[in-house]
Structure 1
Amino acid sequence: MRVSKEELIAVLAQFNPWWRGEPIADLPDWQRAASRELNRWINHPPVHRAILLSGARQVGKTTLLQQQIDALLKQSVPAANILYATFDHPVLKLAGIEAVLEAWREREPRVDGSEYLFLDEAQFIRDWGTWVKHQIDFNKQRRIVFTGSAMPLVEADQESGVGRWHTIRLTTLSFYEYLQIKQLQLPALPPLKSLTELFDWTPPQFYRAQEIAVPYVGHFHEYLIRGGFPQTAQVESITQAQRLLREDIIDKALKRDMTALFGVRRILDLEHTFLYLCMHDGGLLNITDLSSNLEVKRPTAQHFIELLEACHLIYRLPPFGYGKDVLKGRFKIYLADAAIAPAVLLKGKSIIDDPAALGVATETAVFKHLFARYYSQNVRFTYWHGKKDREVDLVAEIGGQLIPFEVKYRAQHTGARELKGLIELCEQKKIGRGYVVTKSLDDFGLMTGLPQTGDTASQIMRLPAPLLCYWMGASELNQPEFND
């Protein structure tokens, strides 16, 4: 559809105040850990590629783009060479990318140097994959950053996108980022670059960390029910935060995005599927039971699951193994954020007094933190199922190295009797180190009295969940080579 150039320029001028010499309004001081990787790819890209910033609704993608634009302006990049455009705006969506670029250059003639294009909600650009491919192949002076629902973007044009863009995944806030945004004054925990450092700690170091971490526990529980979205972290009451999460984030993702991106018409069935997953967060997906309960056909239910994952509302973990073991096994489902289930199911703060629900929320948070910390290093996450229904919640695998995590978020101290699955996996796969995620701060340290078989004895570290999530979020800022 044809849009007048005057109207197009007027819209772009609103989104690009730096063209008028004005600063970006309401830019927060805090930055996501992903900003370091994004900044590196914008300023010193290892190869010439576009950058895809992917993530769920309201995780801060647009803010990240604006912060990068602000940084470029402070580096004296000419304002005329920086364009921001969001293609969920009806005028820009109707005009199309080429008309937007023409209007930009009519309003702001090019200055010598690189051009920087920041394109929000790029899935609404017609034939976006072909356009990005052409830009990367033939226009070396343009650096392109685009956002949107990453999975549909990648899957829709995967062949043309090979080698054309680098993907940066943006999860919901880590516990560390949450504390930074809240600007809470808490005693500083000892820095930890790698969890393996804990195996060299002395008893006084464990005792000292326990003492310092006491005020962190209450904030961790509030984080689990308030949510890891920047907006929900900053509103005053938890009730308001949960309403915002339910109505402004989840409802729009289900009802607007699913229709716009995938043409879903059976929104009620999709919503029921999501509610079912909220009630089974952290559990094995029984697609037959889901289909029967919701009265939908199995292929339809399977399609809905794939769409929810595509829009970053859930994660799916396959069972550990390869080939037939995976094909025959059931997926494990985690929600994108621990606060989603309490918000959607209208549970409010009640999960704090429900040990089972609190344990599920903690396991969801632990997985999200491990995923956010290591996804860029192509870590494969699975769960393990052994003999006599013994299981291990999470197994991180990279380069043949296995690192298991078992979540036991309960008041009782954790002993070998509760860890038969973890011990069996370590013995079977000759794993040197494993972790059990605990609740009590004094349930912290290297386990003793474990059964020893074979030539190599495994070491298992008990690690309280608030500390694990804090350190995973803090170490994400540094991103050293993979090390558990």
Structure 2
Amino acid sequence: MQVSRKELVAVLSPFNPWWRGEPIADLPAWKRAAWSELDRWVASPPVHRAILVSGARQVGKTTLLLQQVDALLKQGVPSANILYATFDHPLLKLAGIEAVLEAWREREPRADGPEYLFLDEAQFIRDWGTWVKHQIDFNKQRRIVFTGSAMPLVQTEPESGVGRWHTIRLTTLSFYEYLQIKQLQLPLLPPLASLVELFEWPQPRFYRARELAAPYVGHFHEYLIRGGFPQTAQVESITQAQRLLREDIIDKVLKRDMTALFGVRRVLDLEHTFLYLCMHDGGLLNISDLSGNLEVKRPTAQHFIELLEACHLIYRLPPFGYGKDVLKGRFKIYLADAAIAPAVLLKGKGVIDDPALLGVATETAVFKHLFARYYARNVRFTYWHGKRGHEVDLVAEIGQQLIPFEVKYRAQHTGARELKGLIELCAQKDIARGYVVTKSLDDFGPMTELPPASAAVTRIMRIPAPLLCYWMGASELRQPDAEDA
């Protein structure tokens, strides 16, 4: 079936109001932390590559693209040289990329200077890998930005993508971004460029930070149950926010995207698998237990897990180590956002009153913030399980450094007895510093009661979760350096 150019122009025109000299409607003033990286690659790319903006549904990928279009127009780029097209639209998907480009050029003759192509949901472009490869190799005047589910895009034709695009990973909103979007008037917290700076703070500064952070705690708990999606963050009712998260985001991924992208037919089994993971957020994946409970074969269950990760609904962390340690170990599963499990399991605000559920949600949020902060440096995240049965929730391998994080989100003060795994790992690997994520604002500062053997080589800092997530989100606005953690 052929789609006429007239029909294509009729579809493209509303998506490209700048062709008519009109502004982009309803463009928010706030920008995601990833904006600066995207702007840098579009304005003056260090190498000639396409840019892939990847992330879950409704995290703001399209808004990010349109904000970049707006910036280009304000810089004087000719409107005729900018195209936005979403291949989620059935007619554009049917026509194909070349027909879309021809319709664009029939409507808007090219002006001098580079062309800018912003292609949404690019996974629906036929033979997209070959097309992108050809464009990057032979058309130096085109700068291409495309969105989609990064993992299926990359895994479909990995060889085509080598050196052809730069990936910008867009997670759900950080706690810092959430507060900016809500436009809340809160006391300004002291700036922190890197966590390591805390070890140089004088004691009075910790006291002052605790006082300033008091109004943040309630908003942090609401953030955990409302969700880090721009749409849910701005809905007044938490109940409605959770419904939107459940119906507009999760259900569409499971029931529509999985079928369209991967040809999944056993949608009910896939939903049950995801429900199982929501009930075990932050826990170790027992694939035998999962397949047994859901009555699906082990390879099928494993395949579902990989698809959920590909669509950015979950993260998988291997155990610390290499070779057999990883092959024999079990993956740790985190959901893409702390609010997903409460929304799917219909927990509502009950999470705040349940210490166990609140602890799980906090650990998920902490991991998401650390991942978002450091992914660009190819940081490897694992968890650690020692021979004595002690564990450490998260270990970040940053270059030659190991930075462990233990989450203890509970009312009690955190002492050395509660950190046997962290202390054991630090002593075993001669780790210079580690972090404990706490609940109480009073549980903030360097630990002084460490065992003599570990105190000689290790410093441990206790940081309340709202402060850690705030600072990780705020510092994401700049490029990480070697001493960030």
1:351 aligns with 2:351: yes
Q: Deviations over 1:165-219 (max 9, x none)?
A: 0000000000000000000000000000000000001110000000000000000
Q: How far 1:389 sits from its partner (Å)?
A: 1.4
Structure 1 runs of 4+ aligned residues shifted over 2 Å read 454-457
1:447 equivalent in structure 2? 447
In structure 2, give the amino acid aligned to 1:236.
Answer: E
How much does 1:399 deviate? 1.7
Q: Distance in 1 between matches of 2:199 and 2:38?
A: 33
The answer on whether the counterparts of 2:83 and 2:116 sit within 8 Å (CA) in structure 1 is yes
CA drift of 1:388 comes to 2.4
- TM-score computed with the length of structure 2 as normaliser: 0.99
Show the counterpart of 1:310.
310
**Alpha-carbon distance in structure 2 between the residues aligned to 1:272 and 1:99:** 40
Is the 8 Å Cα contact of residues 374 and 480 (structure 2) preserved in structure 1? no
Q: State the distance in 2 between where 1:61 and 1:154 align.
A: 17
Q: 1:18 and 1:377 mapped to 2: Cα distance?
A: 36
Compute the displacement of 1:14 (Å).
Answer: 1.0
Pairing 1:402–2:393 present: no
In structure 2, what is the equivalent of residue 76 of structure 1? 76
Look up the match of 1:62: 62
What is the match of residue 93 of structure 2? 93
Superposition deviation, residue 147 in structure 1: 0.2
Question: Which residue of structure 1 lines up, in the alignment, with residue 34 of structure 2?
Answer: 34
Q: CA deviation at 1:75?
A: 0.2
Aligned position for 1:323: 323
> Structure 1 208/333 Cα, relative in aligned 2: closer, same or farther at 3 Å?
same
Amino acid at match of 2:379: V
> Which residue does 1:4 correspond to in 2?
4
Q: Secondary structure at the match of 1:187?
A: coil
Query: Which position in structure 1 is the counterpart of 2:52?
Result: 52
**1:124-135 aligned within 5 A:** 124-135=124-135
For 1:342 and 1:470, how far apart are their aligned partners in 2?
A: 22
Q: CA deviation at 1:455?
A: 8.9
Q: Does 1:263 align with 2:263?
A: yes
Query: What amino acid is the match of 2:64?
Result: L
Q: 1:286 to 1:454 in 2, by over 3 A?
A: closer
TM-superposed deviation, 1:338:
0.0
Q: Is the 8 A contact 2:426 2:454 kept in 1?
A: no
Question: Counterpart in 2 of 1:287?
Answer: 287
Which residue of structure 1 aligns with residue 156 of structure 2? 156
Amino acid at match of 2:95: A
C-alpha contact 1:430 1:456 (8 A) present in aligned 2: no
Shift of 1:398: 1.9
Structure 2 match to 1:469: 469
Q: In angstroms, what is the RMSD of aligned CA positions?
A: 0.7
TM (norm. structure 1) is 0.99
- How far off is 1:387 after superposition? 2.5
Q: CA deviation at 1:475?
A: 0.1
Query: Contact 1:337 / 1:368 at 8 angstroms: preserved in 2?
Result: yes
Contact 1:243 1:343 (8 Å CA) reproduced = yes
In 2 relative to 1, CA 455–208 (structure 1 residues): closer, same or farther, beyond 3 Å? closer
- State which drifts further: 300-309 or 397-406: 397-406
Q: Partner residue of 1:226?
A: 226
Question: Is the CA contact 1:259–1:265 (under 8 Å) kept in the aligned structure 2?
Answer: yes
Task: Give, in angstroms, the shift of residue 457 of structure 1.
Answer: 2.7
Contact 1:432–1:456 under 8 Å retained in 2: no
Cα pair 1:171 1:372 within 8 Å, conserved: yes
Contact preservation (8 Å) 1:394, 1:406: yes
SS at match of 1:252: helix
User: What 5-or-longer segments of structure 2 have no aligned partner?
Assistant: none
Q: Alpha-carbon deviations, 1:405-449, whole Å to 9, x = none?
A: 000000000000000000000000000100000000000000011
Q: Which residue of 2 aligns with 1:414?
A: 414
Report the Cα distance in structure 2 between the residues aligned to 1:32 and 1:452, rounded to whole angstroms: 44
SS in 1 for 2:437: strand
**Equivalent position SS for 1:59:** coil
Asked whether the equivalents of residues 373 and 480 of structure 2 are also in contact (C-alpha less than 8 Å), the reply is: no
Give the Cα separation in 1 of the matches to 2:15 and 2:99. Answer: 16
For residue 452 of structure 2, give the secondary structure of its aligned residue in structure 1: coil
Paired residue secondary structure (1:105): helix
The residue aligned with 1:437 is: 437
The secondary structure found in structure 2 opposite 1:389 is coil
Indicate if the aligned counterparts of 1:283 and 1:333 stay in contact, CA closer than 8 A. yes
For the 8 Å contact 2:386–2:421, the answer to whether it is kept is: yes
SS in 2 for 1:387: coil
Aligned length: 484
The 5-angstrom pairing of residues 129-148 of structure 1 reads 129-148=129-148
Native 8 Å contact 2:54 2:170 kept in 1: yes
Task: State the Cα deviation string for residues 253-305 of structure 1 (Å, max 9, x = none).
Answer: 00000000000000000000000000000000000000000000000000000
User: Counterparts of 1:378 and 1:422 in 2: how far apart (Å)?
Assistant: 23
Query: How far has the Cα of 1:454 moved from its partner?
Result: 6.8
The answer on whether the counterparts of 1:86 and 1:121 sit within 8 Å (CA) in structure 2 is: yes
Q: How many angstroms apart in 2 are the aligned matches of 1:7 and 1:272? A: 41
The residue type paired with residue 391 of structure 2 is: E
SS of equivalent residue, structure 1 residue 188: coil
- What is residue 109 of structure 2 aligned with on the other side? 109
For residues 449 and 455 of structure 1, what CA distance do their matches in structure 2 show? 8
Match of 1:427 in 2: 427
Farther off after superposition, 222-231 or 4-13: 4-13
Say which SS state the counterpart of residue 479 (structure 1) adopts: coil
